[in-house]
Homo-oligomer: A and B are copies of this chain.
Amino acid sequence: MAWRTGDHSQAAAGGLKEKVLTLDTMNPCVRKVEYAVRGPIVLRALELEQELRQGVKKPFTEVIRANIGDAQAMGQMPITFLRQVLALCVHPDLLNSPDFPDDAKRRAERILQACGGHSLGAYSISSGTQLIREDVARYIERRDGGIPADPNNIFLSTGASDAIVTLLKLLVAGEGRTRTGVLIPIPQYPLYSAALAELNAVQVDYYLDEERAWALDVAELRRALLQARDHCRPRALCIINPGNPTGQVQTRECIEAVIRFAFEEGLFLLADEVYQDNVYAEGSQFHSFKKVLTEMGPPYAARQELASFHSVSKGYMGECGFRGGYVEVVNMDAAVQQQMQKLRSVRLCPPTPGQVLLDVAVSPPAPSDPSFAQFQAERRAVLAELAAKAKLTQQVFNEAPGIRCNPVQGAMYSFPRVQLPPRAVQRAQELGLAPDMFFCLRLLEETGICVVPGSGFGQREGTYHFRMTILPPMEKLRPLLETLSQFHAKFTREYS
């Protein structure tokens, strides 16, 4: 019997061989990956739910999963029309059912005609069903005041995350000091840091300004870029607008400044715009990067490289589980775009149900359609409730001493800053925990409320935050926010 050569220690005669795949032999980049949104605190939340089910007595009767932007998990209803069209596509026998409105049936027939074998069971084209990409293009044109969108520049994807990772993959090159660097906002949605770790690219942090409602300052971009050029080749700049976890909606002036900066410094812009339908605050407005770019005219309009991402997981749809999304690429080099198409083809296609939901979301019922009234009412209700929750969250947290919550202008989260007493910080360090992780774990154990510590998203040194979704049911939200505030007060007293 030949033993393995190489990096495994030779097993003693009669002893067990080491496994082939161990922490030591596995991909070191994967070991560096972290994803706090489903990280250690959520694992503890799962254990607590299990204990509750087994009848273990706790200071709470349920675990509140305020860690993840999953609206329907927290009781938000799906939009009826979207599910009707999808059900018709899944089971076309229903086209004969009197229980479905005609407009839903026409939509389903139109989509099925565009599918191989007229079935959702066929693979679509790898960039997504042509018809659906055309509908997405029209959505973008309507959204952007008529600026043309080409379906060939649109790639449907398995959620936005999938497309973001594809773009990052394309961008990563070089070695050592020429290794690709990617500027990401701090705080960020940790898909970015995870993907960069896995790809062994260089994460270049730029700090959003907490004192100015998480505004993006080009001077800070420049600071980060110039420092980064010492040790890597910065090639891309990510911006999340509306922001996650921070909830700010950037002004048009800010977006123009970012575009100018990216152009001057040779950076590919990655605009994560999945919350474009989630804008709540008076005076805030979503400005699409593509629209602003185009309206800035030359040299930006025809030269600045941009990828814009959208998803069916957020907005008024909340269809996270279906994994639907797209990226629109703007001013991408044609040969690179072919490479992207090739790369996407290896995974065949994005899931067809997600494509269907995206199609309906981007081409909602028109005023003359039978389903228009109900669709509008449901959509309005969802967005109004989200806006109310955003406002309530901000208000209740700002009433608590030691908690300061920037305006939740958009998206689905609050990211309050919490004061933690020095003795608590010290205790955390003794336990080998980030101080806000220590706080959040204690919060979870004592109240059942699961939020994600700011350290999972990034924050300025010496500051502590947590990200809480605004999604719990309205009737529970105020009590939860107050419970959390009271816990913070108690925690502060305990460690004073």
Which of A's residues lie within 8 Å of B, judged by CB?
Answer: 1-8, 16-17, 19-23, 25-28, 30-31, 33-35, 37-39, 65, 68, 70-76, 78, 83-84, 86-87, 90-91, 93-94, 97, 99, 115-117, 119-124, 126, 158-159, 161-162, 169-173, 178, 191, 194-195, 198, 229, 233, 235-236, 264-268, 303, 305, 317-323, 331-333, 335-336, 339, 342-343, 345-354
Contact = CB atoms under 8 A, between A and B. Distances in A.
Contacts of A233: 6-7
Nearest to A6: B233
A242 to B, nearest CB: 19
A71 B8 CA distance: 45
Q: Which 8 A-B pairs have CB atoms at the shortest separation, nearest pair first?
A: A4-B266, A73-B116, A321-B352, A87-B91, A73-B122, A72-B121, A38-B345, A351-B351
Given A70-B122, A336-B26, A99 B90 contact: no
A322 B318 CA distance: 19
A267 B33 contact: no
Nearest to A23: B335
A239 to B, nearest CB: 15
Given A20-B236, A158-B323, A321-B349, 12 more contacts: A17-B303, A25-B173, A25-B235, A70-B116, A73-B116, A73-B119, A73-B123, A74-B117, A90-B90, A121-B318, A122-B320, A198-B343
Nearest to A323: B351
Given A7-B233, A35-B346, A339-B31, A17 B119 contact: no
A345 to B, nearest CB: 4
A321 B356 CA distance: 11
A26 B16 CA distance: 45
Nearest to A36: B345
Identical chains bound together, number: 2
A351 B348 contact: no
A410 to B, nearest CB: 21
Most interface-central of A1, A5, A121, A171 (chain B CB within 10 A)? A121
A219 B31 CA distance: 36
Nearest to A158: B158
Contacts of A347: 158-159, 161-162
Contacts of A349: 321, 323
Given A22-B336, A303-B16, A352 B322 contact: yes
Contacts of A265: 2, 4
A445 B161 CA distance: 39
A28 B99 CA distance: 54
A86 B342 CA distance: 31
A77 to B, nearest CB: 8
A83 B95 CA distance: 14
B97 A91 contact: no
Contacts of A319: 121
Contacts of A170: 21, 26-27, 30
B27 A321 contact: no
Contact of A322 (B30, B120, B305): B120
A266 B321 contact: no
Nearest to A269: B20
Contact of A86 (B84, B90, B323): B90
